[in-house]
C-alpha cells in the first residue's frame, strides 16, 4: 500500500508550527515518519531505552520537549533527526495530527512527514534502544487493534487504543496518536486502489 501524498495533505490540517500550550503542561512535539520500501509505505517507531526515567522501554514516535523559541514543527523535526539520525532536508511535512496530552505532563504537537528516501538509521544510543518499521497496511487491519484501561489522573482517555504487530504493542499516548493517524489518513490511498467514500476500519 502506497499512500498518495496529495491525498494525505488533503486529509490533514496543514503542518503549522504554532504551539497550543496549556497551563501546567510543558510543550513537546513528535513526528510520525512515513517512508516507502519496495513499493509499500511503512511507519517508523522508536523503542525507548529501559533505563530512561519517562516511559522506559515503550514504543513511541520520535520527538521531545521544546527548546527555546523554536516552533512546534521545528521541534518535532529536530528531535527526530537527533534520535533517529535522519537529515532534516529529507523530511517533507505532510500535515498535523490532533494535539494530545501525555500523562508525563506534556502537551504534545504531532505531525506526519515523509522521508523522501529510505536509509539506514543511526539511533541516538542515550535514548533509543531500537528503530523499527511497520507496514502501513497492517495499521488498517481491525484484528490488530484493541484497548487498554487507565486510571491515571492526567489521562484524558480511560480506554486507550493499542496496536499489536510482530510481538510488539503500541499503546499509551503513541497508541492514541496512531489511532488518530489511521482515522484521518487510512483512506488516503491512490484512487485506483480505494473504493470512493470508503473509511478506515475502527477497532
Q: What is the CATH number of the domain that holds 123?
A: 3.90.79.10
Per-residue pLDDT of the chain (203 residues; tens, 9 = 90+): 899 999 999 999 999 999 999 999 999 999 999 999 999 999 999 998 866 656 666 899 999 999 999 999 999 999 999 999 999 999 999 999 999 998 888 999 999 999 999 889 999 888 898 999 999 999 999 999 998 776 555 656 657 889 999 999 999 899 999 999 999 998 675 533 333 343 433 33
- The pLDDT of residue 173: 92
Q: Is residue 151 part of a domain?
A: yes
Provide CB contacts within 8 A for 179, sequence distance 6+.
145, 161, 163, 203
Q: Is residue 198 part of a domain?
A: no
Report the distance separating Cα 14 and Cα 27, nearest Å: 19
- The pLDDT of residue 193: 38
- The pLDDT of residue 50: 64
φ/ψ of 21, rounded to 5, equals: -65, 155
Domain containing 9 equals 5-191
Provide CB contacts within 8 A for 104, sequence distance 6+.
54, 55
The three grid cell numbers given for residue 82, joined into one nine-digit string? 537527533
Q: Is residue 201 part of a domain?
A: no
Q: Is residue 150 part of a domain?
A: yes
**Number of domains within the chain:** 1
Q: Is residue 16 part of a domain?
A: yes
Q: Is the dihedral of CA 161, 139, 14, 64 positive or negative?
A: positive
- The pLDDT of residue 198: 39
In 3-state terms the chain splits into helix, strand, coil percentages (rounded to 5) of 25, 35, 40
Amino acid at each position: 500500500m502506497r499512500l498518495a501524498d496529495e491525498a494525505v495533505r488533503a486529509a490533514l490540517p496543514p503542518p503549522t508550527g504554532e504551539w497550543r500550550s496549556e497551563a501546567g503542561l510543558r510543550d513537546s512535539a513528535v513526528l510520525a515518519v512515513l517512508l516507502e520500501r519496495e513499493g509499500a509505505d511503512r511507519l517508523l517507531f522508536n523503542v525507548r531505552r529501559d533505563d530512561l526515567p519517562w516511559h522506559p522501554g515503550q514504543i513511541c514516535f520520535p520527538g521531545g520537549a521544546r527548546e527555546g523559541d523554536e516552533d512546534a514543527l521545528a521541534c518535532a523535526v529536530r528531535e527526530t533527526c537527533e534520535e533517529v539520525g535522519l537529515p532534516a532536508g529529507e523530511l517533507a511535512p505532510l500535515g498535523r495530527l490532533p494535539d494530545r496530552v501525555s500523562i508525563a505532563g506534556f502537551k504534545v504537537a504531532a505531525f506526519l512527514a515523509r522521508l523522501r528516501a529510505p536509509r539506514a538509521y543511526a539511533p541516538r544510543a542515550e535514548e533509543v534502544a531500537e528503530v523499527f518499521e511497520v507496514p502501513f497496511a497492517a495499521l488498517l487491519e481491525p484484528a490488530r487493534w484493541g484497548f487498554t484501561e487507565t486510571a491515571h489522573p492526567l489521562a484524558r482517555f480511560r480506554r486507550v487504543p493499542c496496536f499489536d504487530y510482530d510481538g510488539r504493542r503500541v499503546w499509551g499516548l503513541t497508541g492514541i496518536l496512531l489511532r488518530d493517524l489511521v482515522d484521518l489518513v487510512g483512506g488516503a490511498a491512490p484512487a485506483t486502489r480505494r473504493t470512493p467514500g470508503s473509511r478506515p476500519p475502527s477497532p
